[in-house]
Structure 1
Amino acid sequence: MAQASSSIASSPASAQLGTWGKIIRTLRREPGLVFGIALLAILLVMAVFPWLFTPHSPVGVYIERAMQAPSWDHWFGTDDVGRDVFTRVIYGARVTLAICAGSLLISAIVGGTLGLVSGFFGGWTDQVLGRAVDVLLSFPPIILGVIITGVLGPEITNLVLALSIVYMPVFFRIARAGAMSETGKTYVEAARSIGVHDGVVLSRHVTRNVLPLILTQYIILFPLILQIQAALGFLGLGVQPPTPDWGAIMEQGKDYTLYAPWISVFPGIAVLIAALALMLVGRGVQKRMDQR
C-alpha cells in the first residue's frame, strides 16, 4: 500500500517532468519554431489587447505634437498630424493580421474545395477548373493584387477579395494533388465497391487526409500574403486613412522620409518581424508534417 500511494503521489510530478522534458527537447531540436511561436504570441496579444500597451488614440489628431522624434512620451515618434506612431502600429497589427488571416482563409476554403473536386472527379471538371486556375497563375501575385484593387477601388472589402483570389490557385493545386493521390488508394476503391457515394467518400475520407496539407500551406503562405497586403497599402490600394494599417502608415510617411523617417520605418519593422515569426512557424510545421 505504501508503495502504491507513493507511486500515485509521484505520478503528477513525473508527468510534469515529462512535459518539461518534451519542451526542452523541442527547444533543442527546433529553436526557430519556438522563437517564431513566441514572437507570434506577442504580436497576437498586442493585436487583441492593444489598449494594454498604449494610452493614446490611434486616430486622434494633435497638431501641436506633429512630427516629434521618438522619445519616452512617444516611443516611435508622431506623424504629420500628431498621432502616436507606436499606437498606430499596435492597433494596425489587429487590422493587418485580420485582413491577411481572413483573406487566406477564404482562399483555402474556396481553392481547397475546388481542388478536391477537381482532383477527385477528374475528367472535364478537372480540365475546366485547371484551365481557369492556369490563367490566374500566369500573373505574379503582387501584379494580380494591384490589378484587382485598382479596378475595384481601394476598400477593405475589395482588398480582401483581391488577396483571396491571389493565392486561391495555390490551394487549388495543393488540394488537387492530394485528392488525386488519395483517390488511387485502396480505401477509396473499397468504399466505392460497397456502394458508398462519391460525395461521401470525398467529404468524409479524402478531405480529412488532404486537410493537413492545406493547413500547412496556410501557415506557409501567411508571411507572403502579409507582404503583399503591406505593399498594396503602401501603394495606396489597401486600407484607407485614418484606419491604422501597417502598409497605410508606411504610405502616409513616404513624403517625410528624409526628415521624419520613423513614420515609415517602424511599421516596416513590424511587417518584417511578423513575416519572420510566421516564416519560422511555417517552416517548423512543414518539417513536422514531412516527418509524419
Structure 2
Amino acid sequence: MSTEMRLGDDGDISGTASQQDKKRPFLDALVSILKSKTSLIGLIIIVLLLLVAVFAPLLAPSNPISGGDLFNRYKGPSADHWLGTDELGRDILSRLIYGTRISIQVGIIAVGIALVIGTFLGAISGFFGRWIDMIVMRIVDILMSFPSILLAIAIVAVMGKGLTNTMIAVGIVGIPQFARIVRSSVLSVKETEYVEAARAVGAKSYRVLFRHVLPNCLAPIIVQTTLSIGTAILDAAGLSFLGLGAQPPKPEWGAMLDAGRAALQTAPWVVIFPGLAILVTVLGFNLLGDGLRDALDPRTKK
C-alpha cells in the first residue's frame, strides 16, 4: 500500500495514512498476546498483582507490621493464618500482599530511571554519532563490564541502605541495556527514506530525532521495559536479602527471605511463600515480555 507524502507547515513529513493504520501494529501485538497461552498467562499474573497492590488494605487479613503476636510466632498454615506466621507472629499472607506494593513500586521506578536516562543516551549516541557516540558507548561499556548485582551492591554501599537508594542503584544498573538497544534501533531508523526526507526539507535535528526516529523505535523499548521490570524486582529482592535494600519492618519479599532463613528447617513456610511470590512475579513479566517481543518483531511473523 503506497502512502502519499506531504510537507507540513512545520517542516514535518507525514503521510495520508489514517490513525487506525498507525495503531495497527500495537493492536496486532495485543491480539497476538491474547492468542498465545504463555503470554496470556503472564498478562493475567501481572493484572492480578496490580489488583492485589491496589486493594491491599482490603485483602490483607491483618496489619503487616504491627499485627504480630509473639505467642503465635512460627505457626504453620492454618485457618487463622493461611500462610502461617513469621518470627514475630505476623501474618505472612498480609505481609506478602503489602509486599506486592513495594515490589511493583521498585520495578516501575527503577526501570523508569533506566528507561529515561538510557533512552536519552542511546538516542543522542546513535543519532549524532562521532565523539558523542564514542563517549557514551565507552561509559556504557564500563558499566556493563561489572556484574549487575555487584555494581548495584557497590552503589548502595556508597549511597547507604534503604529502599530509595536500592531503586536508584537498580535503575543505574539497567541504563546500559536501554542505551544499547535504543542506539542500535536509532542507527537503523535514521537511514530510512522518511528521515532523509525530513532532513531535506529543513527539519531541525532534535525534531527529526523525537518526531520521526524515536517513535519508530518503540517496539524494542517496550519489550525491554517489560523484561526489565522483572529483573529489577529480582535485583531489589537480592539487595534486601543481603540487608542493603528495604529495612525491617517493611514487608519486602527479599527482606522476608532474609528474616526467615534462620528458621528454614523448623518453619520453611517463612521463606517458601516469599520465594514463590518473587518467582511468580518475575515469571509473569518475563512471559509477557517474550510475548511482546514475538508480537512486535516482524522477523518472527510468518
TM over 0.5: yes
Q: Aligned pair 1:80/2:82, yes or no?
A: no
Correspondence for 2:48 among 42, 46, 49: 42
Q: 2:119, 2:179 within 8 Å by CA — same for their partners in 1? A: yes
Q: TM-score, normalised to structure 1's length? A: 0.88
Q: Which has the higher helix share?
A: 1
Correspondence for 1:205 among 206, 209, 212: 212
Correspondence for 1:159 among 160, 166, 169: 166
Counterpart Cα distance in 1 of 2:54 and 2:196:
47
Q: TM-score, normalised to structure 2's length? A: 0.85
Note the 1:1-292 alignment, pairs <5 A.
29-60=35-66, 61-291=68-298
Counterpart Cα distance in 1 of 2:155 and 2:256:
22
Counterpart Cα distance in 2 of 1:73 and 1:164:
39
1:198-231 superposed Cα distances (whole Å, 9 cap, x missing partner): 0110111111111222111101222222211111
Aligned-pair CA distance for 1:27:
8.2
Distance 1:130 1:98, change over 3 A: same
Counterpart Cα distance in 2 of 1:28 and 1:89:
28
Q: 2:32, 2:295 within 8 Å by CA — same for their partners in 1? A: no
Distance 1:215 1:27, change over 3 A: closer
1:78-111 superposed Cα distances (whole Å, 9 cap, x missing partner): 1111111110011001001111111001101110
Counterpart Cα distance in 1 of 2:50 and 2:207:
37
Aligned-pair CA distance for 1:51:
2.3
Moved more, 42-51 or 167-176: 42-51
Distance 1:198 1:137, change over 3 A: same
The AA in structure 1 aligned to 2:44 is A
The AA in structure 2 aligned to 1:273 is V
Q: 2:33, 2:295 within 8 Å by CA — same for their partners in 1? A: no
Moved more, 223-232 or 107-116: 223-232
Aligned-pair CA distance for 1:29:
4.2
The AA in structure 1 aligned to 2:91 is D
Distance 1:145 1:182, change over 3 A: same
Aligned-pair CA distance for 1:58:
0.5
Aligned-pair CA distance for 1:54:
2.3
1:176-212 superposed Cα distances (whole Å, 9 cap, x missing partner): 0111111111112111111111011011111111122
RMSD: 1.6
Counterpart Cα distance in 1 of 2:168 and 2:231:
16
Runs (4+) off by over 4 Å: 25-29
Aligned-pair CA distance for 1:28:
8.5
- Percent identical residues: 38
